[in-house]
């Protein structure tokens, strides 16, 4: 069975050595001294390794089951959910006013990576609830907040998001679910939603569905969509649970991975719903939830890669096959361990350098969310909004690839279920699809985010890279050569791609969209290059000032050098592909495929 070890030391390195969070002026960060964050991460790590990880395979093999309209979660999930609730983990970064701990998002993200790495399917129950609660927090009336939030923050009641219908997932303007106003402030919701994560289960007393639906007579298409709170059980004025509402489970989907999470078909039959936010402004309200969820999904890419890597490393050190080409490393044994082979090393270094770079990227993103929410920093808000599709799309595409690489280290034993490696691959796969498939993330990045606010945010990103390079140049020859030079080259590729879109994409949108996936990946690599340059600078500083942990910091430098030398140069290929335009992509008549 796979193991899960929480990456506490690595998280602490990013939080304190790289991001220097306790020195930040973001309100709430002043308490985040290293001792304090270590205590939180240690506790979260313990529950991840000891409670959630052992249930990961159980969830995968047992799955959820539907019996007489009731969904049952796998053995042990309910008791573990109680433990997570009792530890107040569900409201870690929610306001105290509603029973939360009011921790910044950066701590929520660090803890989230561990929970998700230990058991993605399980963690989704609380993740979806968090997203639904955030939407109510941002768009609800005072009465709605008071009624729904305390129970959702504690996860006594969980939440879901209901967008998808059988005939529409990406193109939600085609939505058919209706919301008929009743004249008393309530609406009757009717229609079918499919693929609803955590849609029903036996771990909470009530489930608060956030449902997108159209009010008859409203604007056509996406502009006519509104968002509604639709509870599984109605709730009276005093917060008591009452009669069953008109929502039922039609089915639970059989699927490739995340078997421990119930993916439901939900049928709404004149269910009582309450408008959240304004009529016909449902997408705006839903985006509060989706933006948060997209960052959480990006983290799933990282977390599955990290969990798979941990096991691949252990296997590579243990499994004896072949001999080191430069001379036996285990002369007394029948063969050397896999880890002596350069090709296994390459794979493990790809994984390690991605994981640690992605971890820094996610936590940096979370500091921007904190700056936006806690300090009203509009620039941080704009930058994280630009980077959200990159975090979601790039980290989940790459995260999936890394789980495949980890599986490959096991050879045939990775394909056989016994070692649990295929579960990481199967679980990671969904992150590339839900919360907007990755092709649509790339479309959002190129079609919308690049030009947002007159291109201000992408210019701010380039400025950030430029000023980092300027501030840190000329102090250490090896750093300039190994980190700054490749970062500057990759950033130049990104700028050239942006320029191509401005010149060519304006004339022919197919030119821009044929390169959108490459652009998202190009951007992601530059972000990870920036993260590695920052981590290398921090590691070098620790080595220069003297540290008792020389091996840790030297390992950081070596891993960073690998990323800059072996992964980052792919930006040139992405640029060449982008600049080839759309002729070869769009040239064939559909009949000739």
Q: State in angstroms the smallest separation of the CB of 211 from ligand FAD.
A: 9
Q: How many of the chain's residues bind ligand FAD (CB under 6 A)? A: 19
Q: Are 369 and 276 in contact (CB under 8 A)?
A: no
Stretch that binds ligand FAD, among 60-68, 103-111, 394-402, 437-445 (CB under 6 A): 437-445
When asked if residue 430 is in the footprint of ligand FAD (CB under 6 A), the reply is yes
C-beta nearest to ligand FAD: residue: 169
- By CB atoms closer than 10 A (0-12, 13-18, 19+), residue 25 is exposed
Question: Binding marks (x or -) toward ligand FAD, 241..280, rule CB under 6 A?
Answer: --------------x-------x-----------------
Burial per residue of 292-314, b for 16 or more beta-carbon CB atoms within 10 angstroms, e otherwise: bbbbbbbbbbbbbbbbbbbbbbe
When asked if residue 169 is in the footprint of ligand FAD (CB under 6 A), the reply is yes
541, 561, 549, 544: which is closest to 356 by C-alpha? 561
Q: Which of residues 97-156 bind ligand FAD (CB under 6 A)?
A: none
Stretch that binds ligand FAD, among 38-46, 109-117, 278-286, 431-439 (CB under 6 A): 431-439
**Tokens representing 30?**
């002043």
Q: Which residues contact 541 (CB under 8 A, 6 or more apart)?
A: 17
Residue 471 DSSP code = H
Q: Which of residues 180-199 bind ligand FAD (CB under 6 A)?
A: 195-197
Q: State in angstroms the smallest separation of the CB of 436 from ligand FAD.
A: 6
Stretch that binds ligand FAD, among 111-119, 356-364, 436-444, 521-529 (CB under 6 A): 436-444
- Which residue is associated with the tokens 């243990």? 318
When asked if residue 207 is in the footprint of ligand FAD (CB under 6 A), the reply is no
Among 204, 386, 443, 575, contact with ligand FAD (rule: CB under 6 A): 443
- Which residue is associated with the tokens 């991605």? 354
CB atoms within 10 A of CB 11: 24
Among 335, 437, 485, 558, contact with ligand FAD (rule: CB under 6 A): 437
- By CB atoms closer than 10 A (0-12, 13-18, 19+), residue 589 is exposed
The Cα 81–Cα 492 span in angstroms is 48
When asked if residue 164 is in the footprint of ligand FAD (CB under 6 A), the reply is yes
Residue 15 DSSP code = I
φ/ψ of residue 48, rounded to 5: -65, -50
Q: State in angstroms the smallest separation of the CB of 191 from ligand FAD.
A: 12
The Cα 212–Cα 103 span in angstroms is 30
Stretch that binds ligand FAD, among 7-15, 53-61, 160-168, 570-578 (CB under 6 A): 160-168
When asked if residue 288 is in the footprint of ligand FAD (CB under 6 A), the reply is no
**Tokens representing 143?**
């009465």
Closer residue to ligand FAD in complex, CB, 10/200: 200
Q: State in angstroms the smallest separation of the CB of 249 from ligand FAD.
A: 14
Among 434, 461, 523, 562, contact with ligand FAD (rule: CB under 6 A): 434
Among 40, 110, 440, 527, contact with ligand FAD (rule: CB under 6 A): 440
Measured CA angle at 359 (ends 354, 362), to 5 deg: 120
Q: Are 403 and 300 in contact (CB under 8 A)?
A: no
- DSSP states along 71-91: EEPPTTHHHHHHHHHHTT-TT
Q: Which of residues 61-90 bind ligand FAD (CB under 6 A)?
A: none
Closer residue to ligand FAD in complex, CB, 137/440: 440
Q: Are 390 and 528 in contact (CB under 8 A)?
A: no
84, 137, 568: which is closest to 373 by C-alpha? 137
Cα atoms found within 13 Å of the Cα of residue 16, Cβ hemisphere only: 16
Parallel, antiparallel or unpaired: strands 206-214 and 157-162: parallel
Closer residue to ligand FAD in complex, CB, 37/263: 263
Q: State in angstroms the smallest separation of the CB of 83 from ligand FAD.
A: 24
Closer residue to ligand FAD in complex, CB, 263/385: 263
301, 311, 434, 315: which is closest to 355 by C-alpha? 301
Burial per residue of 140-178, b for 16 or more beta-carbon CB atoms within 10 angstroms, e otherwise: beeebbebbbbbbbbbbbbbbbbbbbeeebeebeebebb
Among 24, 48, 162, 407, contact with ligand FAD (rule: CB under 6 A): 162
Stretch that binds ligand FAD, among 131-139, 317-325, 404-412, 439-447 (CB under 6 A): 439-447
Closer residue to ligand FAD in complex, CB, 263/407: 263
Q: State in angstroms the smallest separation of the CB of 3 from ligand FAD.
A: 26
Stretch that binds ligand FAD, among 98-106, 164-172, 371-379, 562-570 (CB under 6 A): 164-172
Q: State in angstroms the smallest separation of the CB of 42 from ligand FAD.
A: 32
Q: Which of 418, 435, 463, 554 is catalytic?
A: 435
Closer residue to ligand FAD in complex, CB, 13/228: 228
CB atoms within 10 A of CB 509: 14
Helix (H) or strand (E) holding 367: helix 342-375
Cα atoms found within 13 Å of the Cα of residue 313, Cβ hemisphere only: 14
Helix (H) or strand (E) holding 181: strand 178-181
CA max distance for the chain? 83
Stretch that binds ligand FAD, among 179-187, 438-446, 460-468, 563-571 (CB under 6 A): 438-446
Closer residue to ligand FAD in complex, CB, 172/349: 172
Q: State in angstroms the smallest separation of the CB of 58 from ligand FAD.
A: 19
Q: State in angstroms the smallest separation of the CB of 371 from ligand FAD.
A: 29
Stretch that binds ligand FAD, among 140-148, 157-165, 179-187, 280-288 (CB under 6 A): 157-165
When asked if residue 433 is in the footprint of ligand FAD (CB under 6 A), the reply is yes
Is 477 one of the annotated active-site residues of the chain? no
SS3 71: strand
87, 110, 80: which is closest to 15 by C-alpha? 110
Applying CB under 6 A, the residues found at the interface with ligand FAD are 161-164, 169-170, 195-197, 255, 263, 430, 433-434, 436-437, 439-440, 443
Provide the annotated active-site residues: 435
């Amino acid at each position: 069975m796979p193991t899960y070890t929480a990456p506490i030391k690595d998280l602490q390195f990013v939080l304190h050595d790289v991001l220097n969070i306790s020195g930040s002026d973001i309100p709430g960060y002043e308490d985040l001294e290293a001792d304090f964050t270590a205590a939180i991460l240690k506790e979260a790590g313990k529950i991840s390794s000891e409670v959630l990880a052992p249930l990961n395979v159980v969830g995968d093999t047992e799955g959820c089951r539907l019996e007489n309209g009731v969904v049952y979660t796998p053995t042990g999930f309910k008791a573990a959910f109680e433990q997570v609730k009792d530890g107040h983990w569900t409201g870690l970064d929610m306001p105290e006013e509603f029973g939360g701990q009011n921790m910044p998002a950066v701590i929520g993200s660090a803890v989230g990576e561990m929970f998700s790495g230990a058991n993605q399917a399980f963690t989704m129950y609380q993740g979806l609830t968090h997203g639904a609660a955030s939407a109510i927090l941002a768009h609800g009336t005072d009465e709605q907040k008071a009624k729904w939030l305390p129970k959702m923050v504690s996860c006594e009641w969980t939440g879901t998001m209901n967008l998808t219908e059988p005939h529409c997932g990406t193109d939600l303007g085609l939505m058919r679910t209706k919301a008929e106003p009743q004249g008393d402030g309530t609406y009757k919701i009717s229609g079918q939603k499919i693929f609803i994560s955590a849609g029903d289960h036996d771990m909470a007393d009530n489930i608060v569905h956030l449902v997108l639906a159209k009010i008859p007579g409203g604007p056509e298409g996406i502009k006519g969509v509104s968002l509604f709170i639709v509870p599984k059980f109605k709730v009276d004025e005093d917060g008591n649970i009452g009669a069953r509402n008109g929502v039922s489970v039609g089915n639970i989907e059989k699927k490739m991975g995340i078997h421990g999470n119930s993916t439901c078909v939900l049928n709404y039959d004149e269910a009582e719903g309450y408008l959240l936010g304004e009529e016909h402004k449902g997408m705006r309200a839903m985006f509060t939830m989706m933006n948060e969820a997209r960052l959480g999904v990006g983290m799933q890419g990282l977390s599955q890669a990290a969990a798979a890597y941990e096991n691949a490393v252990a296997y590579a050190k243990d499994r004896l096959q072949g001999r080191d080409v430069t001379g036996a490393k285990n002369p007394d044994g029948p063969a050397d361990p896999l880890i002596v082979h350069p090709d296994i090393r390459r794979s493990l270094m790809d994984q390690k350098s991605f994981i640690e770079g992605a971890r820094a990227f996610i936590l940096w993103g979370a500091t921007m969310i904190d700056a936006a929410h806690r300090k009203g920093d509009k620039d941080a808000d704009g930058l994280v909004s630009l980077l959200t599709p990159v975090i979601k799309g790039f980290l989940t595409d790459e995260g999936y690839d890394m789980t495949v690489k980890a599986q490959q280290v096991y050879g045939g034993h990775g394909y056989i279920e016994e070692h649990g490696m295929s579960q990481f691959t199967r679980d990671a796969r969904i992150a590339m699809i839900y919360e907007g498939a990755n092709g649509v993330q790339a479309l959002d990045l190129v079609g919308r985010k690049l030009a947002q606010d007159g291109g201000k945010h992408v210019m701010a990103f380039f400025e950030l890279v430029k000023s980092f390079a300027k501030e840190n140049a000329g102090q250490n020859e090896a750093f300039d050569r190994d980190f700054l030079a490749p970062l500057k080259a990759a950033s130049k590729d990104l700028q050239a791609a942006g320029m191509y879109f401005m010149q060519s994409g304006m004339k022919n949108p197919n030119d821009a969209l044929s390169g959108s996936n490459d652009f998202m990946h190009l951007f992601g690599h530059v972000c990870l290059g920036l993260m590695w340059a920052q981590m290398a600078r921090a590691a070098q500083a620790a080595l220069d000032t003297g540290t008792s942990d020389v091996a840790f910091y030297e390992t950081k430098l070596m891993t960073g050098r690998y990323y800059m030398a072996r992964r980052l140069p792919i930006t040139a290929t992405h640029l060449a592909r982008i600049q080839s335009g759309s002729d070869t992509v769009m040239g064939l008549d559909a009949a000739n495929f």
